[in-house]
Structure formats: structure tokens, C-alpha cells
Structure 1
Amino acid sequence: MEHDRSSLNVAIIPTELSGAGDVAVVAVPESLVRSQYSVPDGADHLPDKWPVPANYGTTEKAQEAQERETAKLPTYYTAIRLAPLTLLFGLAHGIAGPAYTELMKIRVCGQYFNYTEEVCQHLDEKMYIHQADNVRSATAHFQLYNTLISTIPSILFSILLGSWSDQYGRKIPMLLPFFGTFMAQVYIVLCAHFPMSPAFLLISPVISSLSGGGVIINMAMFSYIGDYTTKRTRALNIAIIDGAMFLAGNAGSFLGGYTLQNDGLEVPFYINCAMTAASFLYILLVIRDRHPQAAKPRLRFECGSLFSVERVKENWRTLSMKRPGNARQHILLVLFCMLLSSTCLIGDGSIMQLFLEFRPFNWTVEFYTLYSAIQGTISSVTFMAAVIVLRKYLGVPDTVLAILATISAIGAFFGYSIAVTNWMIYAASAVGVFRMVIIVVIRSLLSGMVRRNEIGKVMSLISSLHSVTPLLGSLIFTNVFAATSAWWPGFCFVLGAFMMVPVLAIFAYVDVARRGVDVGYNLLESEEE
């Protein structure tokens, strides 16, 4: 890679491993420093020490040293470190969900439509069926606005912060969303105490999304796992954290519903605030950053560089640069699999309740809630145990795990499509118990195809795509279900099965293509065409 060498700064670069005393001295072109950190050309003085661009000065030897040091860590190092944070985050999210929906419904009924308290408390009665339809429809629209507001700014923010965290560490990206979420929950507590238009509730997702929200939390946590794991241990740790988050979310939903019913509308938000504050303190006091630039903060330049156009260019270079073993094509294909599989796996949840509450099943809401909780718990425990056994003890590659998970998903979709009795639903759920492993192995696969100093960029792309899929899945599956439910309620599941076929084909191709190819972290950056 050619640079203007007319003016050079000498930068002392410590190794990225905490506690290591090794340093590397590299000559960094002044023009590169100025463009990377937006320093005006007319500025006479440049600081003595500069943070080096994330993709500059890395060598094969340094990458190998990092891998050797990481291999010395315990197998479940990151899972143990992140487990308390994952449980707190999952519980807080699960507790707040039902309470927020209920608060929105109450405000829509009382303030938006100005229905009386008598009407709002008895919407389930036949005499108020028209009012109930109005409230349900309006609440759904406000929930859609909430989803859009929560998602879009966070996605844009993650594009910048993923690249930034590769250079300055994961700790600040973990802290920011929890601070914003805490402020948003404090605001919701005020909204719960004082009657106001449901439009004011939409300020809460604005506050949380401007600090990153769940998109940045996932990006930072899984990037942190990538920093402290090897190819052999990464899928294990990701599976444990993903499974723990599902378990905590299910437990939080139960706890949120119980406190909402027995203790009032405000109590779930109080609990959420406490757990969010505890999460913030845990990150601040326990989580260690291995990135050396984070140890000596230079806020003026670090924060200024976050909103640089260079961050967007770095993400594009991560996708477009040539890599050994045709890895660039494989990365793009696996990202497409991420988008398609997440759309199917999340989309079927948007119509499952409607599918089971009508003929021929006629399930009640209470029974469906119980079924969902049990299924989610069994699925989480099963895929955590399966990944540990298959990956650690049997040495099954990530691509083979992905193939097995995709087959599990296709089988479940076909099972749901032909189900006419309860036992067929249970059987289809059992067949699909392994399908959520797809997301786990995709994270592991992609982080294994890039350098360590690109993991944040890759995780931000994964989080961004994963945040878009609820909208795509709901749009596709709800419209198909509405158009076909009269003559074949399970047709949308057939569609999901066929949408997963290209995913299966791509994983099979990548599995064959990657055999014999070194997909570790010693990849050298290739020159662009």
C-alpha cells in the first residue's frame, strides 16, 4: 500500500494484549494521520502520540502473537465475563416489553381516543368490540413507529461505532447504550405516572436509539467475544451468550407480566431502571478492554474521529477488499444468509400466535404464552448444549453446524405448514429446536474470515442486518398469511421453507470452498484491485 512519505510521524504501538510489554515502532505518514483524524492541513503542531488507524501497521507476526496469547485464556473466558451482563440485559428487556405495550394501549384508549375508564377496562367485552378494534389498530401503528425510531438511528450509529471500536475498544460502545436506555426508562416512569398522549411515549426510543440501543449492545458484546476467543472457542462462547439472552428474555417476560398484574404499571419500569443501572456499573467496573488506545483516552480526537466519513469507508473496504481463499465472496454470501434466515426465523413469530389461535387449533392467549416460554427455554438450553458437544468435543466445523441448523429450520417450517393437530405442532417445534444455531455460527464464521482489527466492523454489519429483519419478516409473513389464511393457513411456512433452501445451498458451498483454507486470524491484508 503506497503512501506519501514526505512527512512521517513515529508511533509507538503497544501490543493489543493486556499486560504484554511488547511495542512496535512504525513510521506513520503525516498525510494519513491528518486524513484519518480530520486534522486541518494548516495545523502546525501534531501531538507526539497518535492512535494508529485500525488497519495500519499490523503484521502477520503480530496477528500470530495475539492468537497465541488468546489461546492461553480459559475456553469460556468471555462467556463467564459477559454472563452477568447478558442476564441483566435480557431480564430488563423482557420485563419492560409487556409493560411498555400495556402503557401504550392505555394511553391510546384514554388519551388518543378519549374513551372513558369504563370502556378502557372492559375492551375484551363484546359490547365494546368496535372500540377494541380501534385501540388495537392504533396501538399497532404506534408500536410500528416505536420500532422504526428504535432501529434506524441505531443502525446508522452502528456503522460508525463498529469501525471506531476496532481501534479504541469495546467498553465505551457497551456503556453508551445502557446510559441512554437508563435515561429512556426514567422518562417512561414519568409517562406512567402522568396521563399524556401516546405520541410522547415515542420520545423514549429516540433517547435510547441515539445512544445506540440494542443494536450497539449486541455489536459490542459479540465483538468483545471475538477479541478474546479463537476459532476453536468462539462459537462456544457465542452460543452460551445467545442462549443466556433468550433464557433471560423469557424469564423477564414472565416476571414483567407478574409484576404488571400484581404490583401496578410503574413497577416493571422501576425494575428495568435498576437492572440497566446495574449493567452500566458492571461494565464500568468489571469489563476490561484489550485495546491499548482505550487506556489513554484522547477525547478530542477519539470522539471527533467517530463521525468521520472514513468510518463509512472502512466498513466498505471490509466488504470489498480482496482476501485470500476467495474470502470476500464468502463473507458476502454469509451476510446474505444472515439476512434471509433471520427474516424467516423472526417473521414466522409474527404470525404464529394468529396461526394457533384460530381453527383448527383454537389456542388461548394464556396457553400460547406458556407454549412460547417452554419452547424458548428448551430451544435455548438445547442449542447451547448441542454447540458445546458438537463444536468442542466432536470438532464439527461452523459450516456443518450451519447446515444442520438450516435443515432443522426447513423441517420445522414444513411441519408447521401441514399441521392440523396439537401433536403435529409439538413435533415441528422439536424438529426445529436447533434452528437458532444459524445466528450463532454466522457470527462465528464471519469473525473467522476477517482480521481481529475488523471484528467490530463485521459485528456492526451483522447487528444492522439483524435489526432490519423484524421489519422485513413481519411485512412478508403477515401479508402472505392475510392473503392465504382462508384456504391454507400454513402456506406462509411453506414460503419460509423455500426461502431457506438458498441458505442451505450457500452454506454447503462455503463449507466445501473453505476446506483446507486457513480462515484464522493470520490473514494478511491484500492490496485492492
Structure 2
Amino acid sequence: MEKKPLLQKPKEGESLLNIRNLVMGNIVAVLYHVASAFHAPTLDQYLYKRLSLEVFGNYSGDSVSPANVTCYSNKTSEGYILQEMAQKATTSQQMYFSLVNTAAALVGSLVLGSYSDYFGRKVVFILPAIGDMVRSAMLTAIIHWELDLNWYYIGEVLCGLGSTNSGILLASYAYAADNTPPRKSRTLAIAVIDTTSSIAYAGTSAATGYFIQDMGYFYPSLVSALIMWVLILVVVFFIRESKHSLKKTNKSKVNLTQGIRNVVGLYLFDNTCRVRSLFWLGLMCYFFSQISANAVININTLFMMNLPFCWTPERIGYFTMASTMAKQLLGVPLIKLLHYCIGDEVIGVFSAFTFIVADLLHGFATTDWMMYGYAMAGALSFAAVPVIRAIMSRMAPKDSQGSLFTSLTLADKVGGLMFIPSFAYIYEATVNFMRGFIFLVFAGTHVVAFMLLVLFACLTYKHNRRIEHDDTVTIQDTEWRQPTSQSNLAQSTEM
């Protein structure tokens, strides 16, 4: 006689695995990353072309146009000096665009994220998509009519107010959390979002390289805007609000102050001091793991377009595809394999260490094989950020997933405002004597992340091993928190 039913009734407040919703959420994330794969390299390379033409002016020392990424090897030639000036001008312009976008996104993310747990995920999908669509359309107009580059600030502001890419990611991760049980499947679901999106980004990057090289900049930018429009239609007609995406609160009583309180409550008001300390520690792990992400893409494009690589758009597309595919195709299987023998924290520590190795190899790269070696080393660093997100998601209450991911988004934006200018100035100051020096600086930020993750793993190891065998462990089942109101308690802290 069966003593324990094979299929147990879920406990109240526990999420079930909803494959249909997860698939649709992944489709939205994929569409967004495909659009981004068209937009980002088009902007970087078009910007370098425009500013190179302005810097070179009437210079005719070489038969090849500077816009076609001529690499001047003679450091005493006028062409080499002008090219260095063009790189610095491009870095500065990228920095200004990023700062405007990040400042607007700081406000947009706070407002949008504060209301996401009350008004659902569809709004958090749609508003960022509208902002991105307008930004791509603005770049398309600038390219077609050769407008002043300052018009692009309009697109950056609107995109930022929609919370830019962080808004889409916030909605995607929160939507995954809404539709998965609080076990390792959530780690995998979040990692799958990163994987499918990055594979799409990788394949599109290679196509974009061909597109730019053969047809110029206009059509890739136009395609980006059209894909964002398709994304909006998919969200409107096919995305369903999940069961746990809305707080059971009278929406007429919801205000921004309460929303902000929910975002910071995990760190300042709710739970015991020990749990709040763990949230802060997780936030700092995320902060230092992501701090260089805002700058590395733009700087790396300039790094590859100039000495010693002198890569064309086609070769840049190939490298982006190879590095992204290596990271993502190895990432999810690696997480699944390592889960059989070690916990999330140890996986995060290992990934953070490989971040450091990859940055060091990147900084000293002088040949193509060293760049591809950096890409392979970076593949093993995939798990760090998804693991941090997943751990913090399981620590947070079920009805506060949007608020949690908003706090991570805000940390990302604050880091951008603080360090984007610094990284740009470091690159400008060091490009003359060591182009890869900035990547050594990035390695330093990942050293800090590595040490924080080691501390986090040490503090949580015993707890995680103890609750690993339970299907659902409520806060009341642990010694971590003192009894408080149920609305402020996490449904599960299982790692």
C-alpha cells in the first residue's frame, strides 16, 4: 500500500512549473537580444566611422578611407595619431550616450520595478520594448539623413526611461521565477533565458557583421526597430500574467513610495539582521560581477577594430558569435552537471575565478588565438551572475520577485553611473601604451566579486546542505528569521 503519494499537492504559495509561460518568456527575451545584436554593433561601428571622418577631415596620407578601419602601424605617422584621436573621441561619445541612458534608466527602473509586482509582467515587457524601438528608429533616421549625432540622445533618454535592457531582463527573470518552483529548476530556468537569448545574439551578430560590411549601417538599424515592434505584438497577444505575478493588494492604494519601500525592504526593514546581511552580501556580489558589463562591449569593439587586430565588421561578428556560443552552450550543461555534486555558491565562486582569468588573458591579448582563448575562458564564467540571481530569488518572498530584480537592476545602473566615466577615461589614458590595460582593471573588479562570493559560500554552506533534501522549506522551518507577518516572509530559501 502506498504510504506517500507520488504526486503531492503543492503547498500554498508555491509555484508550479509552467512550461508554456517559460517558453513564451524565452521567445520575448530571444527577440529582444536579436534586435540588440543588430543595434549595438551598428551603433558602435557607425559612431567610429562618423567621428573618424570628422577627425581625419581632409587627410589624404593613405589611399584607404579611415572609415574602413585602416590600421596605421607607424606610430610617428599623422594617420596613426589621428586614429588614436578618433578612438578617444569615440570612447568619449559612447560614454556620454551611456551616461544619459543610465541616468534615465535609474529613474525608469525604480518606477517600473516598484510597480511590477502590482501590475504584472506585461507592462515591464512592453515599456522597455517601446523605448528600444524608438532608439533604434532614431539611429536609423540619423544614418539615413546623416543627422547630427546629438539627436541620438532623444532615443537614449526614452530607452532609459523604459528601463532599457534591464527592464526586459527584469521582466524575464521575474517571469521565470513566477513559473518555477523554488528549487534548482529556477536556477536552470534563469540560466536557460541567458542561454537561448545569447545563442540568438551570437547567430545574429555574425549576420550583422555581413550585413554591415555588404550593405552599410541603415538596414541593420531598421531591422532592429522592426524586431522590437514584433516583440511588442508578441507580449500583447501571447504573454499571460502568471499566478504569482501580482500582489493581492488594492491597486488604488498602491503608490510609488510603497513600491520603493518594497524594493529596499529586503535590505533595510524585513527579516532579521542576519538575513538582511545576506541580501546585502548577495547584492554586492552581483554589483562587482556586473560592474564592467556596461563598458566592456563598447570598448572591446574599438579594441578589435584597431591594432594589433584590425578586424573587419565580418570578423568582429564571427568572434562575437564564437565567444557567445562557447559561453552559453557550455554554461547550462555545466550548471546541470555541477549541481549533482556541489551547490550554487561553489559554482558561483568557480565562475568568478574564471572571470579573472578571462580578463587577464583579454588584457594581454595580441594575437587572434589569444582573443579566442579569452572567449573560451569566458565561457566558464557563465554561471556567476545567474547563480547570484537565482540564490537571491529563492531568498525573497514569492510576491516580491519584481522588487528583488528591480534592486539588482538599480545596482547595475548605479554602478554604470559611477564607473562608466572612469573606465572611459582609463581607456583614453592608456590606449597609447597598452590598449588592453582596461581589461586588467576589469579583472580587479572580478577579484572583489570572487572574494565576496567566497565569503557568501562560507556563510551559507551549512544551511544549504541541510535544507537541500526538502521539497519546500519555509522560513518558519529555519532558524534564520524570527516570526513576523507572513506577507514579509519568503516562501523558500532553499538553495
For residues 171-190 of structure 1, what are the alpha-carbon distances to aligned partners after superposition, in whole Å with 9 as ceiling and x for unaligned?
Answer: 11111111222233333332
CA drift of 1:271 comes to 0.9
CA gap of 1:275–1:227, structure 2 versus 1, over 3 A, is same
Q: Quote the Cα distance in structure 2 between the aligned partners of 1:137 and 1:270.
A: 28
Question: 1:409 is matched with which residue?
Answer: 355
1:252 is the counterpart of 2:199: no
Q: Quote the Cα distance in structure 2 between the aligned partners of 1:513 and 1:296.
A: 35
Q: What secondary structure, in the 3-state scheme, does the structure 2 residue paired with 1:435 have?
A: coil
Question: 1:54 is matched with which residue?
Answer: none
CA drift of 1:79 comes to 3.9
* Paired amino acid for 2:346: V
For residues 430-476 of structure 1, what are the alpha-carbon distances to aligned partners after superposition, in whole Å with 9 as ceiling and x for unaligned?
Answer: 44422121110111011111101111111011122234445656556
Q: Quote the Cα distance in structure 1 between the aligned partners of 2:301 and 2:137.
A: 32
Question: 1:179 is matched with which residue?
Answer: 130
CA drift of 1:97 comes to 1.4
Maintained 8 Å contact 2:109/2:406: yes
Which residue, out of 450, 456, 470, partners 1:507?
A: 456
For residues 128-174 of structure 1, what are the alpha-carbon distances to aligned partners after superposition, in whole Å with 9 as ceiling and x for unaligned?
Answer: 55554444333322221211121122122222222311122111111
* Paired amino acid for 1:287: I
Which residue, out of 370, 387, 398, partners 1:452?
A: 398
* Paired amino acid for 2:395: M
Q: Quote the Cα distance in structure 1 between the aligned partners of 2:442 and 2:258.
A: 42
Question: What does 1:194-273 correspond to in 2, within 5 Å?
Answer: 194-232=145-183, 233-273=185-225
Q: What secondary structure, in the 3-state scheme, does the structure 1 residue paired with 2:11 have?
A: helix
CA gap of 1:152–1:63, structure 2 versus 1, over 3 A, is farther
Question: 2:100 is matched with which residue?
Answer: 149
Maintained 8 Å contact 2:393/2:401: yes
1:64 is the counterpart of 2:11: yes
1:331 is the counterpart of 2:287: no
Question: 2:321 is matched with which residue?
Answer: 373
CA drift of 1:353 comes to 6.9
Which residue, out of 30, 38, 48, partners 1:95?
A: 38
Q: What secondary structure, in the 3-state scheme, does the structure 2 residue paired with 1:66 have?
A: coil
CA drift of 1:293 comes to 9.2
Q: Quote the Cα distance in structure 1 between the aligned partners of 2:386 and 2:321.
A: 20
CA drift of 1:263 comes to 2.4
Which residue, out of 362, 385, 400, partners 2:333?
A: 385
RMSD: 4.0
Q: What secondary structure, in the 3-state scheme, does the structure 2 residue paired with 1:65 have?
A: coil
Question: What does 1:135-146 correspond to in 2, within 5 Å?
Answer: 135-146=86-97
Q: Quote the Cα distance in structure 1 between the aligned partners of 2:60 and 2:367.
A: 39
* Paired amino acid for 2:236: L
Question: 2:5 is matched with which residue?
Answer: none
1:438 is the counterpart of 2:384: yes
Maintained 8 Å contact 2:205/2:320: no
1:321 is the counterpart of 2:279: no
223-232 or 399-408, which deviates more: 399-408
Maintained 8 Å contact 2:31/2:231: yes
CA drift of 1:414 comes to 5.6
Question: 1:18 is matched with which residue?
Answer: none
CA drift of 1:352 comes to 5.9
130-139 or 84-93, which deviates more: 130-139
Which residue, out of 319, 341, 345, partners 1:399?
A: 345
Question: What does 1:9-158 correspond to in 2, within 5 Å?
Answer: 64-67=11-14, 70-71=15-16, 73=17, 76-108=19-51, 115=57, 121-123=65-67, 124=69, 128-129=79-80, 131-158=82-109
Q: Quote the Cα distance in structure 2 between the aligned partners of 1:298 and 1:450.
A: 22
Maintained 8 Å contact 2:131/2:162: yes
Which residue, out of 266, 279, 282, partners 2:231?
A: 279
CA drift of 1:237 comes to 0.7
Maintained 8 Å contact 1:347/1:474: yes
CA gap of 1:258–1:468, structure 2 versus 1, over 3 A, is farther
CA gap of 1:386–1:421, structure 2 versus 1, over 3 A, is same
Maintained 8 Å contact 2:121/2:245: no
Which residue, out of 467, 484, 488, partners 1:526?
A: 484
Q: Quote the Cα distance in structure 1 between the aligned partners of 2:364 and 2:37.
A: 32
Unaligned runs of 5+ in 1: 1-61
Which residue, out of 440, 443, 464, partners 2:410?
A: 464
TM-score, normalised with respect to structure 1: 0.73
Q: Quote the Cα distance in structure 2 between the aligned partners of 1:194 and 1:114.
A: 21
* Paired amino acid for 2:463: R
For residues 53-77 of structure 1, what are the alpha-carbon distances to aligned partners after superposition, in whole Å with 9 as ceiling and x for unaligned?
Answer: xxxxxxxxx993131xx33x35x55
Aligned residues: 454
CA gap of 1:114–1:409, structure 2 versus 1, over 3 A, is closer
For residues 87-120 of structure 1, what are the alpha-carbon distances to aligned partners after superposition, in whole Å with 9 as ceiling and x for unaligned?
Answer: 211110010112223443455466x779469899
Question: 1:36 is matched with which residue?
Answer: none
CA gap of 1:409–1:373, structure 2 versus 1, over 3 A, is same
1:191 is the counterpart of 2:142: yes
CA gap of 1:395–1:472, structure 2 versus 1, over 3 A, is farther
1:310 is the counterpart of 2:258: yes
CA gap of 1:473–1:334, structure 2 versus 1, over 3 A, is same
Question: 1:40 is matched with which residue?
Answer: none
CA drift of 1:196 comes to 2.1
Q: Quote the Cα distance in structure 2 between the aligned partners of 1:117 and 1:275.
A: 39
Q: Quote the Cα distance in structure 2 between the aligned partners of 1:287 and 1:406.
A: 34
